Structure 1
């Protein structure tokens, strides 16, 4: 079976959520996946075309009065099988985090202690804002999507983000204290 990149699998998964157009897919990414997986418009449309060409999705063109035509994509059985197969595969590697704060702190002896403290305080503030964003997302899911069959899984990934963010905030506090 052909192997695809993870963004392709992400788009296959998004097509199970009733997001049908490239625009809807991008909106879904920006409002949910963007906190842990980024995909640009420049990736979405070529991927959708490839999914259609390879029989993983079908496309229907809708004529809209006074608007451009709209393409809607639907998973085929083959597309569902490819997604299911990928979901069932074990992880091949742990994700590697790219974190500019850690990179700068790693070389921290080449900057002033005050600059390191500022860097950490600023990072902590941004993390606290991110945590508030996660709480808002959680509230929205709990209020508007409690019956959605994917809501429980969305909350699992959100909980991961909240816990990682809490740990990073605690790390900032401990590192600031140590400095």
Structure 2
């Protein structure tokens, strides 16, 4: 099978969730994938165009009174098989995180200890907000989507995010100690 980029595979996966318009796909990304996989709005329509050209989905125009016509994308058997084939392939490499905080910390000897401490504090606060967001999403899935066939997989993905965020918060706490005088602790 022809290889596609990860954005194409992500959108094929999203089409399995009955999000079938460009707008619905963007909403789905913003509410779920965006926490671990970034896809810009500008990537969606070129990927959808390719998916249709390759026969991986069909496009149908739907009309509603008083509304503009909208294109709906429906996964074909070929598209579903392409997605399944990709899912069965081993991961090519362990993902490398691009983390601005770590980059700044790496060169931290060129800033004050106070500034480094502030950087770590700010990062920890942002991580705590992220953790709370993940907890809220988890509760939403358990309350409203627990019976969905995808719920277990969504919760597993979310668990990874919660665990890595919790580990990063703990790292911040430990790293911050190196820049805080003992009498302040």
The TM-score, its normalising length taken from structure 1, stands at: 0.98
1:4 aligns with 2:4: yes
Q: How does 1:33-72 map to 2 (within 5 A)?
A: 33-72=33-72
Deviation at 1:42, TM superposition (A): 0.8
> Counterpart of 1:89?
89
Is 1:15 equivalent to 2:12 in the alignment? no
Number of aligned positions between the proteins: 179
Give the structure 1 partner of residue 122 of structure 2. Answer: 122
Query: 2:133 matched to which residue of 1?
Result: 133
Provide the secondary structure at the position in 2 that maps to 1:132: helix
Deviation of residue 178 (structure 1)? 2.1
Task: Name 2:142's counterpart in structure 1.
Answer: 142
Bigger Cα displacement from structure 2, 155-164 vs 60-69: 60-69
Q: Does residue 169 in structure 1 map to residue 169 in structure 2?
A: yes
- Aligned equivalents of 1:61 and 1:50: distance in 2? 17
1:100 match: 100
Give unmatched runs, 5+ long, in structure 1. none
Rounded Cα–Cα distance in structure 1 between residues aligned with 2:30 and 2:124: 23
Unpaired runs of 5+ in structure 2?
A: 180-185
**What is the aligned-residue RMSD (CA, Å)?**
0.6
